[in-house]
A = this chain, B = another copy of it.
Amino acid sequence: MRTLDEHRAVALALAAPLGAVETPLADALGLVLAEDVRTDEPLPRWDNSAMDGYAVRRADVLSVPVVLPVVVDLPAGSADEAVVAQGTAARIMTGAPIPAGADAVVPVEETDGGTTHVQIRVTPVPAAHVRRAGEDAVPGDLVLVAGAELRPPHLAALASTGRATALVHRRPRIAVVSTGDELVAPGTPVRRGQLPDSNSWLLAAAVTDAGATALRLGPVADDPAALLALLLELDADESVDGIVTSGGVSMGAFDVVKAALLAQPGVEFVPVAVQPGKPQGLGRLPAGTPIWTLPGNPVSSFASFELFVRPAVRRMLGFASVERPAVAAVADEGWRTPPGRAQLMPVRFVRDDRVAPATARGSGSHLVARLAQAQGLAVVPAEVDEVLVGDTLHVLKVVP
């Protein structure tokens, strides 16, 4: 039986950062830069005014009040290559280039606001309210580093360097296939033995939440030949970067995913020393598409996705750090854990740093309604057989 950490490593090794593509800024939020970004231009591009006011030669306004003729009006965006000669002033707006000759800006509040002549009331300090070209960055400066997630300020920085696109790792597209003859689409009538499919919704949303695009398929029936045909079609589809299935990987007589893939040399089925989530499969289909086959109980699917698939999706996106943030939390309740197997217990935070099982009264992997209370997954090591009140737990935060 493979340990949890061993299987995590194998699951993650199936993924690599996807290729870099030039992407319009409007589509780049949340993606990961694939190159260092340097600026070719100084930022700001020219000395400019930080205030609405008057550009002056400071030597002309050492004694105040003083009245100067206004020789030019410089709104933002002005291309005017104006000159402020001795004894004159330019009316200037925030962001407009400082005219030649001027060496300080007097804010409009410290003047009479005149348009032909202006009375200056206060002597500015040297270089007052002048933003120097290159104050933010000079040509060649590193503005953003490869590996950065593009958040709103990053897009602003890219735009400021004059870029309309960003070179980012492509967003992965992950197919999600839930399996089982017992599954029907939610909203359709349920007869004895059936239940609404929830895993395809769970896993597709988890794929989306991880930052990838989800292609939700299913539920599909327990027909190994038909399932294999579907999986091979997805494998051959160049727009599909990975496949996640749920169900059909256990010890049963009708385990469809196992039956469909047993003859695939690139795919293995292994028991993992974890509860829930013991029966796992993974590997590559013939065309190279990675596949993770998760068990079908909803809590098992959820925990398996978090531990084995989400890090791989994050790596495809180009993130260097692919793990959920973890915190040390104190058990507010105790519970028994399976001997010899690590446990992934959905927990909720009952107080700041204290957690209790989210699926009250049980760790059953079928408790899908109660799973919605989970804010974290407590990872209890295999050698622990019982969690006692007050024990410190390693908890992955699954809600931001």
A residues 147-192 touching B (CB-CB < 8 Å): 148, 151-165, 180-183, 185-187, 190-192
Within the complex, what minimum Cβ distance (angstroms) separates A260 from chain B?
16
Which of A9-17, A60-68, A227-235, A363-371 participates in binding chain B? Answer: A363-371
The residue in chain B whose Cβ has the minimal distance to the Cβ of A399 is B151
A residues 8-30 touching B (CB-CB < 8 Å): 25-26, 29
Question: Does the CB pair B366–A131 fall under 8 Å?
Answer: yes
Q: Which residues of B lie under 8 Å from residue A161 when comparing CB positions?
A: 186, 196, 369
A304 touches B (CB below 8 Å): no
Instruction: Report whether over half of chain A's contact residues are helix, strand or loop; otherwise say mixed.
Output: loop
A254 touches B (CB below 8 Å): yes
Within the complex, what minimum Cβ distance (angstroms) separates A368 from chain B?
5
Q: Which residues of B lie under 8 Å from residue A152 when comparing CB positions?
A: 201-203, 205-206, 209, 302
Contacts A193-B80, A364-B135; is A96 near B44 (CB within 8 Å)?
no
Interface hub of A109, A195, A208, A372 (most chain B Cβ within 10 A): A372
Question: Does the CB pair A79–B209 fall under 8 Å?
Answer: no
Question: Does the CB pair B250–A160 fall under 8 Å?
Answer: no
Question: Does the CB pair B75–A362 fall under 8 Å?
Answer: no
Question: Does the CB pair A250–B163 fall under 8 Å?
Answer: no
A residues 216-252 touching B (CB-CB < 8 Å): 216, 222, 250-252
Question: Does the CB pair A371–B156 fall under 8 Å?
Answer: yes
Within the complex, what minimum Cβ distance (angstroms) separates A31 from chain B?
11
21 pairs, CB–CB < 8 Å, chain A vs chain B? A25-B186, A26-B204, A29-B205, A52-B251, A73-B253, A76-B252, A77-B183, A77-B193, A79-B193, A93-B252, A109-B251, A136-B367, A141-B369, A151-B372, A153-B368, A156-B199, A157-B369, A159-B202, A160-B198, A161-B186, A162-B186
Give A residues with C-beta under 8 Å from B. Answer: 25-26, 29, 39, 41, 43-46, 50, 52, 73, 75-81, 91, 93-97, 107-109, 131, 135-137, 141, 143-144, 148, 151-165, 180-183, 185-187, 190-199, 201-206, 208-209, 216, 222, 250-255, 296-298, 302, 362, 364, 366-372, 374, 398-400
